[in-house]
Each structure stands twice: as C-alpha cells, then as structure tokens.
Amino acid sequence: MQQVFDRVDLPASLVVLSTDGRAQFGWQDPETGDYFAEEDGRCIVNAIGSVPWFARAVH
C-alpha cells in the first residue's frame, strides 16, 4: 500500500542545543531571541543555538 501525502507547507520547528549536551524541540521568541521548550514552555536558559527541523507530516 502506497501512502499519498497532500502537499502542506509546515513551519520549521527548532532543535535547540544547550550547554549540558541536551537537544530538545523548541521555538525562539523573535523579539528577545530566547529559546523555549516545546515540552513545557519554559525558557531554555543555557541554550547555545538551534537547527531548523522540517516535518513532512503531522500526526
């Protein structure tokens, strides 16, 4: 069985990297530049950067 995907442009998510070696999904506040965790919404105070991550589908 072949899956058929409708073309949907999903926004990029971020994989946020921190000084303790963790990587977690998050987002960046465009005004402050602070990173926040998708899991609980808390600010990731030791974030050192991020990498965009694009999904092909949403569950």
pLDDT in tens, 5-46: 555 565 678 999 999 999 999 999 989 999 999 999 999 999
* Of residues 55 and 52, more confidently modeled: 52
What six digits make up the tokens of 43? 């600010």
In this prediction, residue 23 carries a pLDDT of 96
In this prediction, residue 57 carries a pLDDT of 62
Domain borders along the chain are 13-53
Distances (CA, A) of 13 to 2, 4, 20, 34: 27, 23, 21, 15
Tokens 């977690």 identify what position?
24
Q: Which strand (E) or helix (H) includes residue 40? A: none
In this prediction, residue 13 carries a pLDDT of 85
Is 59's pLDDT higher than 80?
no
